[in-house]
């Protein structure tokens, strides 16, 4: 069951079919397979990456996309604070899941990149649901292929580590180090917000700062406040193409316990919403929300938070698509 206008696919309204009914898709949008003829109308593709082969601690985000789809059926159409209806700013659809290989890291990275190269060829902006944070690397291999992009990164961790266990270079703690090394990200246009937690040695932070990455520790965020920090983020990211990556462990484990590497002393769910709203106006070319781990989320509250933050991010992406269309 789908509803649509001439221009836009619309979420099925809870006034027509109750929100707890029906086959769950992201935001109750139609699910379009790779051969669906309506795909040429899609501007923003919601994609699941059910893969956690980069996880070093508690596992489970391979189950994230299915749970996030279910939780996202709770979301209504209109943003409560801004009045934005993302579904009539840009045409959105659920494009299904990447078929990543649960038993092979390098094969999975290649499969994920191939999926996103196809989206780029179709001019579709991806809003992805992880999966662990390593999935951002193969996505950026597609999006940053022709020229490096900027990054707005919310996380308790820098994910700028070099390696684990004596030289293993591909884990959910290393994606942005690899992306900078591979020339997919411009390190002087990378802003990381919310970093905290006990450390191995701090080498990740030292390396990032030496490369020009702006790392905003949680103490600085709370000291200066959301408005001031996001004003600086806009200054650094400017109007160049920017990717947004949101690790659910950015939010305090009181709100987001269902994740692999929780760190105390984080923002509330509202503070996370507020920061995302202050990202409006960036020229976003894609985004992901990662590290929701349903096995550690028995209440479903972390998945609901994740789906709700995906809606916030979708509003930002739809605004960016609409502005590029008008250019």
Which residues of this chain interact with Mn ion, rule CB under 5 A?
A: 133, 155-157, 159, 247, 249
Nearer to Mn ion, 68 or 124 (CB): 68
Nearer to Mn ion, 72 or 171 (CB): 171
Q: Is 206 helix (H, G, I), strand (E, B) or coil?
A: helix
How is residue 177 written in tokens?
A: 């180090």
Q: What angle do CA 83, 89, 91 make, to 5 degrees?
A: 135
Nearer to Mn ion, 52 or 247 (CB): 247
Nearer to Mn ion, 186 or 249 (CB): 249
Provide the minimum distance between the beta carbon of 76 and Mn ion in the complex, in angstroms, as a whole number. Answer: 29
Provide the minimum distance between the beta carbon of 42 and Mn ion in the complex, in angstroms, as a whole number. Answer: 28
Q: How far apart are CA 117 and CA 100, in angstroms?
A: 15
Nearer to Mn ion, 247 or 312 (CB): 247
59, 53, 241, 210: which is closest to 140 by C-alpha?
241
Q: Is 230 helix (H, G, I), strand (E, B) or coil?
A: helix
Provide the minimum distance between the beta carbon of 245 and Mn ion in the complex, in angstroms, as a whole number. Answer: 8
Provide the minimum distance between the beta carbon of 246 and Mn ion in the complex, in angstroms, as a whole number. Answer: 9
Q: How far apart are CA 140 and CA 285, in angstroms?
A: 10
Nearer to Mn ion, 155 or 252 (CB): 155
Provide the minimum distance between the beta carbon of 157 and Mn ion in the complex, in angstroms, as a whole number. Answer: 4
CB 2 within 8 A of CB 84: no
Provide the minimum distance between the beta carbon of 136 and Mn ion in the complex, in angstroms, as a whole number. Answer: 8
Give me the torsion for CA of 185, 191, 193, 198, rounded to 10°.
Answer: 60
The DSSP output letter for 30 is: P
Provide the minimum distance between the beta carbon of 90 and Mn ion in the complex, in angstroms, as a whole number. Answer: 26
Nearer to Mn ion, 43 or 159 (CB): 159
Provide the minimum distance between the beta carbon of 193 and Mn ion in the complex, in angstroms, as a whole number. Answer: 12
The CA–CA distances, whole Å, from 186 to 34, 155, 191 equal 31, 18, 11
> What is the sign of the dihedral through the CA atoms of 190, 56, 273 and 8?
positive
CB 67 within 8 A of CB 303: yes
Q: How far apart are CA 159 and CA 93, in angstroms?
A: 30
Q: How far apart are CA 86 and CA 260, in angstroms?
A: 30
Give me the torsion for CA of 264, 266, 269, 273, rounded to 10°.
Answer: -160
Cis, bond preceding 27 (omega within 30 deg of 0): no
Nearer to Mn ion, 14 or 295 (CB): 295
């Amino acid at each position: 069951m789908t509803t649509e206008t001439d221009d836009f696919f619309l979420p099925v309204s809870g006034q027509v079919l109750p929100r707890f009914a029906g086959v769950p898709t992201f935001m109750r949008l139609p699910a379009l397979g790779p051969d669906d003829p309506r795909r040429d109308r899609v501007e923003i593709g919601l994609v699941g990456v059910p893969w956690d082969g980069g996880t070093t601690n508690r596992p489970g985000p391979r189950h994230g996309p299915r749970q996030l789809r279910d939780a996202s059926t709770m979301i209504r159409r209109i943003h409560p604070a801004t009045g934005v209806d993302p579904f009539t700013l840009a045409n959105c659809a659920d494009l299904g899941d990447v078929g990543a290989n649960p038993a092979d890291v390098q094969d999975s990275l290649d499969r994920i990149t191939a999926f996103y190269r196809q989206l780029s060829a179709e001019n579709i902006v991806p809003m992805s649901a992880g999966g662990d944070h390593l999935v951002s690397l193969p996505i950026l291999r597609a999006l940053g292929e022709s020229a490096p992009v900027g990054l707005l990164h919310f996380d308790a961790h820098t994910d700028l580590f070099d390696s684990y266990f004596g030289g293993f270079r591909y884990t959910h703690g290393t994606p942005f180090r690899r992306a900078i090394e591979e020339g997919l990200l411009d390190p002087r246009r990378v802003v990381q917000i919310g970093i905290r937690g006990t450390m191995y040695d701090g080498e990740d932070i030292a390396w990032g700062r030496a490369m020009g990455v702006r790392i905003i520790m949680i103490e600085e965020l709370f000291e200066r406040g959301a408005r001031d920090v996001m004003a600086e983020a806009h200054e650094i990211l400017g109007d160049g193409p920017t990717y947004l990556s949101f690790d659910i462990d950015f939010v305090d484990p009181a709100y987001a316990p269902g994740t692999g590497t929780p760190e105390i002393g984080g923002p509330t769910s509202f503070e996370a919403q507020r920061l995302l709203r202050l990202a409006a106006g960036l020229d976003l070319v894609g985004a992901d929300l990662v590290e929701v781990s349903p096995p550690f989320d028995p209440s479903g509250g972390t998945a609901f938070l994740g789906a709700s933050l995906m809606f916030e991010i979708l509003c930002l992406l739809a605004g960016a698509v609409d502005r590029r269309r008008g250019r």
